Copies of this chain bind each other. A is one copy, B any other.
Amino acid sequence: MPVANPHQHPPSAIEEALDVLRQHGHRITAPRRAILHALIGRGEPGTIEQLHQAVGTDGCDLVTVYRCMDAFEKLGLVRRSYYESGTCLYEYQPPGAKEHHHHIICRSCQRVETLDLCVVEGLEKLVRDRGYHKVSHLLEFFGTCPDCFAAEQERS
């Protein structure tokens, strides 16, 4: 039995997300629809730049993508992760989703794969035991993916 890709979302996901916006008194605009469409349809995490491209450079301004992602993040509709370089990666998170996962990011082709588990939850308790509050963590794996590695081998 194949494991469901956590980056795959049903067509209803967009409406679901729009509802969350409405529930919080936010307006539904063309750019927001377009960005959500790009984000949800993408099937894997993307950078602001990639989302902007997907929406179409004339679809909306780059700044609008930044502002929307900020808003979506506050509503819990997106999760943010990071490249080794520090660049942000955004991915859609269905409303109410609690479980989270981590990524394997190829340093060569920037491909993002999903590691569908998180062993770090336990460690967070350790951190809370030290007196910290609002604890969160950031865990990403980096490596050269099989394809890029093969390509490297051929070249040499």
Contact = CB atoms under 8 A, between A and B. Distances in A.
Q: How large, as a class, is the contact surface on chain A? A: 35 or more
Given A119-B123, A127-B115, A136 B141 contact: yes
Interface in A106-145: 106-107, 113, 115, 119-120, 122-124, 126-128, 130-145
Contact of A127 (B131, B141, B149): B141
Given A87-B86, A88-B86, A120-B120, A133 B137 contact: no
A104 interface: yes
A126 to B, nearest CB: 7
Interface in A5-20: none
A151 B127 CA distance: 19
Given A115-B123, A115-B126, A119-B119, A137 B139 contact: yes
A145 B132 CA distance: 5
B141 A124 contact: yes
Interface of A: 82, 84-88, 104, 106-107, 113, 115, 119-120, 122-124, 126-128, 130-146, 149
